[in-house]
Amino acid sequence: MRELISEVLSWLGYLERGSVQLQLLLLAAVLLGLRLRWTRRWLRRWPRAVAPLLGSAAALLLSLGLQSRSIPAGLLQFLGLSWLGWTLLDLLRMPLLRWLPQQRVHELFSRIVRPLYLLLAILALINQLDSTQDLAVIGIGKLFGIALTIGNISTAVLVIYGLLVASGPPAAALAWLLHRLIGISDGSRKALEIILSYTVVGLGITAVCFQLGLNSTALLAIAGGLSVGLGFGIKEVFSNFISGIWLLFEGSVRPGEVLMLDGDSCEVRKLGLRATLLWRDRDNAELLIPNQTFFTEAATSYTASDRMRRSQVNVGAAYHHDPATVIGLLEATALQVPLVLKQPAPKALLLNYGDFAINYALRFWIANPMNNVAICSEMNQAIWRAFQEHQIEIPFPQQVEYAMTWPPQAHEPNLGNPRT
Amino acid sequence: MVVYVAVGLQEGHLLDRDTADSFANHIRQLLHEFGRLHPNVLVKTSLYPESELREQIRRRNLSGLGPDLILASADLANEFLQQGLVSAMPLDQEERNQIDPALLDQVIDSDGHQAGQPLVIFTQLACFDRRRVPTPPATLKELLAQTATGTRVGLSLDLGGLLWSAGSLGGLSGISSAARGLQPSLEQKQGIVRWMRWLQEANNQQRVTFFSDQASLRQRLAAGSLDWISCQSSDLDGLWRSLGSHLGVSILPDGEGQRASPLNNLRVLALGRNSSRHQRAMAIALARYSLKPLVQRTLTLDNRSFLPANRYVSVPVRSSQILATMVAARQQGESSEALLSWFHRHDPGVKQLEAVLVPLVFGVIEPEAATEAAVGILRTQP
C-alpha cells in the first residue's frame, strides 16, 4: 500500500511543468468563471439543455487554442471531454424517462452508468499520468499465501459489484419464464428471482476467489470462518436472510399484503433479504421490520386468502327506541356509504343493554383493508345523520352530584341542589 | 523533484509482478546511489510493454505528461526521434569516447542526432537444463544429433527467434543483401535455401518443436517440458528462479564454418520532450551517471543478464561463465547488428516474412519458393 501511495504522490511532480500548470490554470479559470454572477446571468439566456455544456465547451476551445500554439493541451482536452461526457449523461436521462419508470432510471444511473463512467474516466486519467499495467501489479499484501495486487483486487471488486448490480434483470427474466412455464405462484417467482440472483453472485464470488489464486483449502478456511461468524456475530443477519427467503416462498408476506402491526394496518411495500418495508397509512411512516419477526411471531393478515376486511362500528341508542327499527335503520344506512360492499350484506346486531343505552354493532365489509379508518369515519357520520333524521337519540351518561352532609345518617337524598 | 522514466519491456515479457520485481531489483542500486548524489530527486519508473510504448509516449507527450527519460531498444529510440517523440540526446566527446562506436552508430540519425545513450546490451543465447543436456551443442549438426538421443528442443516461430540459425547456415549475407534492396547472388540464395531447408528438417525431428513466441519457450523450459531453447539474456532472471543451478547457458550453435547470427538487443536511454528545465537537467544527469564505468560494472555484475555499453568496463569473464557466454554471443552477433535495425524499421515486412516461414516450417511450401518469396519481401520494403 505504501508503494501505491508513493506512486500517487509522485504524480505531483508533473505540476513542475509549465504546460501542465497552464492547462490546470485554464480549467480552474473556466470553473471559477462559471461561478461568477455575470456568467450565471448569461447562462440563463441559453436553452436549458445547452447551458450545462458551455463550461466543458469552453475548456475544449481553450485546449484547441493551446494546440494551435504548439503547447501540449491533451490534459485540458481530456478533462474537458470527460466533463462534457458527464453532462451528456444527465441529458440522456430525459429520453430514458419516457420508456422506463423514474425509479429504474435512477437505479440505472446511480448504480451502473455513473460509477462506470467515473471509473473509466479515472482509469483514462491515470493512463495519462502513469502506466496502468505497471500500477496493477503493485502488491498490497498476501492472503493464504497468494500475493494480492492492485490489479487483481480491483478486478475482483469490479466483478463482484457487476454481479450484484447486473444479476437482477437476468434472474428476474428466468424466474418470470419459470412462472409462465410451470405456473409457480407470484411469491415463489419473487423468491426464485432472489435465489437465482444470489446464486449467481455466490458462484461469481467463488470464481473470483479461484481467479485470485485461492485454492479449495483456502476457500474452505474462509467458509469455516464465516460459519463461526454466522454462529456469533452475524447470526441475526443470516436468520433474517433465511426468513426472508422462506416468507417469499410461503407467500404470506408479499408486496401489497396488508398486515396488522401494533393495532395499525400496514401495507407491505418491499420484502428485502434482511427486513421488510411496511407502509403505515396513519402517519405515512415506512417501517423496517426484520424478517425474523414475521417468521417467529404471530401476524394478522387481511390479505392472506382475499383482500376483504370485515369492519365494525359501535353505537348506542336510547332505551325507548324499538331495537328492530334501529337495526333496520343501521343496515340501511351502511348500504348508503360508498366503498361498503353490498355483498356480504352489512349486519347490525344488538350487543347488550348498557347503563344508559342499548349498544348496537354494525358490521360491514370493505374491499381495501387500508381504507378501514376512513370508511368507519364515513359510517359513523352516516349513522349520526340517519339517527337525527329518524329522531333516534344517542344517549350519553348523565351524572347528578349531591352535597353530602356529615354524619351520613343525617343525609337526606334528593334534597340538595342538584348540579349536572 | 520527480524524474519520470518510461521503460519499454522487451518483447516476450509479460508485465506481471515478477517482471516488475525483477526490473526493480535491476535498477535499485543505480537509483539508490543516484539518490545519494541528488537527495531531492525522486526517480519514478513506469513499465510498458514495448509494443505499446510508442502510443503511450505519443499520448502522454500531447498532454504535457510525457516521461523525462525513456529506456527502450535502440531501434525504437531511432524511430521515436524520427517521429519527434523524443529529443536528441546531447553527448559530449568524453561520453562518446566511453561508448563502443558500433553501439553509438546504432542510435544516430542521418543528421547526426543521437536518438539515445546506449546503456546495456541483452544478448541472444541458448538456454538449457543441465540435467538433460550436460554438454550444449556447439553446432546445428550436434543439436539435431542430440535430439535423436532424447533432448527436447524448442524453437520460436517468430523471425527474431529464428534468424540466428540463418547465420549458422550461410543464409545471412543473402538476407542482408536483400534487406539493402540488392538482388542476392546465386550463392547467397543457396545459403537462404539451405537455412530454410534446415528449418523444415528440424521440424521433421520428433523432439524439435516450434512455438509461436519466446515466452512459450521460456515457460516450457522452466516447467521441464523442453531441454534446450534459444533465449534472450533478459530471460535468465526468470529461468534462474525456476531452474536454479540446473540452468545452463551457451552461445547459439554455429554451422559448418559459419557463425550463428544472434540478434543482440541494445537498450538506450532517450530524452523525453515535456520535461521542465530542472527535470531535463536531472534526466541527463541520470543518463550520464548510468554510463559511469563503476555504475555499469556494478549493474552488470549484480544482474548478470546484460553487458555494459561502456567499453572501458572490463567484464570479468573468468569468474562468470554467464558473462563469458554473453561476451561471446555479442561477438557472434556483430554480423547481424545491421539486420536488427531493419527489423524494427519494417514491422509489416517482418510479419510478411513470418507468414512465409510458418508454411515453410510445416512443409506447405518448398524452401526454394519460400526463398524467392522472402527475398521479394525484403527487397520491396522501403
Q: Which CATH number do you get for residue A370?
A: 3.30.70.100
Q: Are residues A245 and A352 in the same domain?
A: no
In the predicted model, what is the mean pLDDT of residues B132-149?
90
Residues A74, B64: C-beta atoms closer than 8 Å: yes
Contact residues on chain A for B4, CB-CB shorter than 8 A = 13
DSSP state of A299: -
Cβ distance of A14 and B65 shorter than 8 Å: yes
Question: B270 in helix, strand or coil?
Answer: strand
Question: Are A152 and A164 spatial neighbours (Cβ–Cβ below 8 Å)?
Answer: no
A53, A2: one domain: yes
Judge whether B5 and B44 are in contact, CB under 8 Å: yes
- A129 and A7 in a common domain: yes
* Average pLDDT of the residues in B248-272: 90
Shortest distance, CA B60 to any CA of chain A (angstroms)? 6
* Chain B residues with CB-CB distance to A130 below 8 A: 46
Residue A243 has a pLDDT of 83
Q: Residue A314: which H helix or E strand, with range?
A: strand A309-317
Contact across the interface for A16 and B274, Cβ inside 8 Å: no
Query: Which one is predicted more confidently, B355 or A252?
Result: B355
- At B168, list the grid cell: 549458422
A133 touches chain B (CB under 8 A): yes
Residue numbers in A near B63 (CB within 8 A): 23, 72-75, 77-78, 128
* A129 contact B CB<8A: yes
Of A17, A74, A134, the CB nearest to B15: A134
CA distance A196 to chain B (A): 36
- pLDDT band for A167, please (50, 70, 90 cuts): confident
Reduced to 3 states (helix: H, G, I; strand: E, B; else coil), residue B151 is coil
Query: Are residues A5 and A128 both part of a single domain?
Result: yes
Distance, CA of B96 to CA of B91 (rounded, Å): 6
Residue A192 lies in a domain: no
Residues A131 and A3 grouped into a single domain: yes
Distance of residue A243 Cα from the nearest chain B Cα, in angstroms = 45
Residues A127 and A248 in one domain: no
Domain presence at residue A153: no
pLDDT tens string B329-352: 988 887 777 666 666 555 677 788
CA distance B55 to chain A (A): 11
Nearest CA in chain B to A148: B17
* pLDDT tens profile B11-20: 767 777 777 7
Domains in chain B, start-ordered, CATH in brackets?
2-122+265-314 (3.40.190.10), 124-263+329-380 (3.40.190.10)
H-assigned helices in chain B: 17-37, 50-63, 74-82, 93-98, 101-106, 140-148, 159-162, 164-168, 172-179, 186-204, 214-223, 236-243, 277-291, 293-303, 321-332, 337-345, 347-361, 367-380
State residue B346's pLDDT score: 56
Predicted local distance difference test score (pLDDT) of residue B345: 57
Give the count of domains, chain A. Answer: 3
List of residues 6+ apart from A269 with CB closer than 8 A? A255, A277, A278, A279, A286
Contacts of A326 (CB under 8 A, 6+ apart): A317, A348, A350, A358, A360, A392
Better pLDDT: A241 or A87: A87
Determine which of A265-269, A305-309, B367-371 has the lowest per-residue pLDDT on average: A305-309
Based on the fold, state whether residues A274 and A376 are members of the same structural domain. Answer: no
Contact between chains at B59 and A74 (C-beta distance less than 8 A):
yes
Residue pairs between chains A and B whose CB atoms are closer than 8 Å: 85
Q: Which of B48, B53, B65, B70 to mutate to test binding with chain A, by most A CBs within 10 Å of its CB?
A: B65
- Condensed to tens digits (0 to 9), the pLDDT of residues B283-342 reads 999 999 999 999 999 888 888 888 999 989 888 888 888 899 999 998 888 777 766 666
Q: Give the closest of A13, A74, A130 to B63, CB-based.
A: A74
- Among B47, B62, B278, the residue with its CB nearest the CB of A72 is B62
Q: Which of A16, A128, A134 has the CB atom closest to B1's CB atom? A: A16
Q: CB-based contact (8 Å) between A213 and chain B?
A: no
Q: What is the C-alpha R_g of chain A?
A: 36
Q: Look up residue B332 and give its three cell numbers.
A: 557472434
Q: Which residues of A touch B46 (CB under 8 A)?
A: 130-131, 134
DSSP line for B128-141: EETTT-SS--SBHH
pLDDT bin (cut points 50, 70, 90) of residue A420 is very low
Contacts of A133 in chain B (CB under 8 A): 15, 47-49
Give the closest-approach CA distance of A92 to chain B in angstroms. Answer: 29
SS3 A40: helix
Q: Is A240 helix (H, G, I), strand (E, B) or coil?
A: helix
CA distance to partner chain A, nearest, from residue B276 (Å): 5
Last residue of a domain, one of A113, A136, A159: A136
Query: Is A74's CB within 8 Å of B6's CB?
Result: no
User: Per the domain annotation, does A371 fall within a domain?
Assistant: yes
Residues 6 or more apart whose Cβ sits within 8 Å of residue B382: none
Nearest to B17 among A10, A129, A139 (CB): A139
The backbone torsions φ and ψ at residue B83, rounded to the nearest 5 degrees and listed phi first, read: -90, 0
Q: Among positive and negative, which fits the CA dihedral B336, B338, B339, B341?
A: positive
pLDDT digits (tens, 9 = 90+) for A14-31: 999 999 999 999 999 999
Consecutive H or E run containing A340: none
Taking residues A125-154, what's their average pLDDT?
83
Phi–psi pair at B4, nearest 5 degrees:
-95, 125
Enumerate residues 52 to 81 of chain A having a beta carbon within 8 A of any beta carbon in chain B.
71-75, 77-78
User: What does residue A106 show for φ and ψ, rounded to 5 degrees?
Assistant: -60, -45
Domain limits at A349? 309-389
pTM: 0.73
Domain stop point among A73, A101, A136 = A136
Residue-level pLDDT at A194: 78
Model pLDDT, residue A418? 47
From CA B144, how far away is CA B126, in angstroms rounded?
14
ipTM: 0.78
For residues A330 and A282, membership in a common domain is answered with no
- Chain B residues closer than 8 Å to A14 by CB: 2, 64-65
* Residue for grid cell 521503460: B7
Q: What is the pLDDT of residues B76-91, one digit of tens each?
A: 898 899 999 999 999 8
Q: Name the closest residue on chain B to residue A14, using Cα atoms.
A: B65
Q: Are B357 and B157 in contact (CB under 8 A)?
A: yes
Instruction: State the pLDDT at residue A151.
Output: 86
For residues A274 and A323, membership in a common domain is answered with no
Q: Say whether residue A134 is in contact with chain B using an 8 A CB cutoff.
A: yes
What average pLDDT does range A232-254 have in this prediction? Answer: 77
> Does residue A132 sit at the B interface (CB-CB below 8 Å)?
no
Inter-chain CB proximity A10 and B279 less than 8 Å: no
Inter-chain touch A131–B64, beta carbons under 8 Å: no
Instruction: Tell me the nearest-neighbour CA distance from A252 into chain B, angstroms.
Output: 54
Which of A136, A170, A195 finishes a domain? A136
Q: Report chain B residues whose CB lies below 8 A from the CB of A147.
A: 17
A153 interface with B at CB cutoff 8 Å: no
Same domain, A296 and A324: no
Residue A273 makes CB contacts below 8 A (sequence gap 6+) with: A194, A198, A240, A241, A244, A245, A291
CA distances from B144 to B168, B201, B204, B254, B342 (A): 13, 9, 11, 12, 30
Decide if A174 is inside a domain.
Answer: no
Answer whether A134 sits within 8 Å of B4, measured CB to CB.
Answer: no
A174 to A191, A193, B50, B363: CA distances (angstroms): 12, 8, 46, 52
| Best of A15, A130, A135, A212 to mutate (most B CBs within 10 Å, chain B) | A130
| pLDDT number for residue A419 | 46
pLDDT value of residue B249: 92
Q: Are B99 and B310 in contact (CB under 8 A)?
A: yes
Q: Is residue A154 part of a domain?
A: no
Quote the DSSP letter at residue A113. Answer: I
- Same-domain check for residues A260 and A313: no
Average pLDDT, chain A: 85
Does residue A416 have a pLDDT over 50? no
Give how far B213 is from chain A: nearest CA, Å: 21
**Per the CB < 8 Å rule, is A134 touching B1?**
no
**A230 is a domain residue:** no
pLDDT at position B250 over 90: yes
Q: Does A365 touch chain B (CB under 8 A)?
A: no
- Would you call A19 an interface residue with chain B, using a CB distance cutoff of 8 Å? yes
Which of B276, B278, B282 would best serve as a mutation to test chain A binding (most A beta carbons within 10 A)? B276
CB A1 within 8 A of CB A29: no
- How far, in Å, CA of A129 to CA of B2, rounded? 13
Mean pLDDT of all residues in A330-343: 93
Closest residue in A to B3 (Cα–Cα): A13
A17·B276 Cβ contact <8 A: yes
Element (H, E) at B149: none
How far from A114 is each of A90, A92, A124, A164, CA to CA, in Å?
A: 10, 12, 15, 16
Would you state the torsion angle of the CA atoms of residues A110, A112, A113, A114, taken in this order, to the nearest 10 degrees?
50
**Radius of gyration from C-alpha coordinates of chain B:** 21
Task: For residues A326-341, give the mean pLDDT.
Answer: 93
CA-to-CA distance for B326 and B332, rounded, in angstroms? 10
Does residue A149 fall inside a structural domain? no
CB contact under 8 A, A133 and B15: yes
- Measured CA to CA, the distance from residue B50 to residue B29 in angstroms comes to 24
In a domain, A229, yes or no: no
- Beta-carbon contacts of residue A138 (< 8 Å; ≥ 6 apart): A3, A4, A7, A149, A150, B20
Least confident of A124-128, A407-411, B271-275: A407-411
Quick check: B63 and A72 CB within 8 A?
yes
Chain B residues with at least one Cβ partner in A under 8 Å: 1-4, 6, 15-17, 19-20, 42, 44, 46-49, 56, 59-65, 274-276, 278-279
**Is some CB atom of chain B closer than 8 A to the CB atom of A240?**
no
Q: Which residues in chain B have Cβ-Cβ distances shorter than 8 Å to A127?
A: 56, 59
Tell me how far apart the alpha carbons of residues B293 and B125 are, in angstroms, rounded to a whole number: 25
Residues A5 and A29 in one domain: yes
Q: Please report which confidence band the pLDDT of residue B382 belongs to, taking 50, 70 and 90 as the band edges.
A: low
Is the Cβ pair A13, B42 closer than 8 Å? yes
Q: Please state, in angstroms and rounded to a whole number, the distance separating the CA atoms of residues B151 and B145.
A: 9
Residue A384's pLDDT is: 95
pLDDT, chain B, mean: 87
Q: What is the CATH number of the domain that holds A269?
A: 2.30.30.60
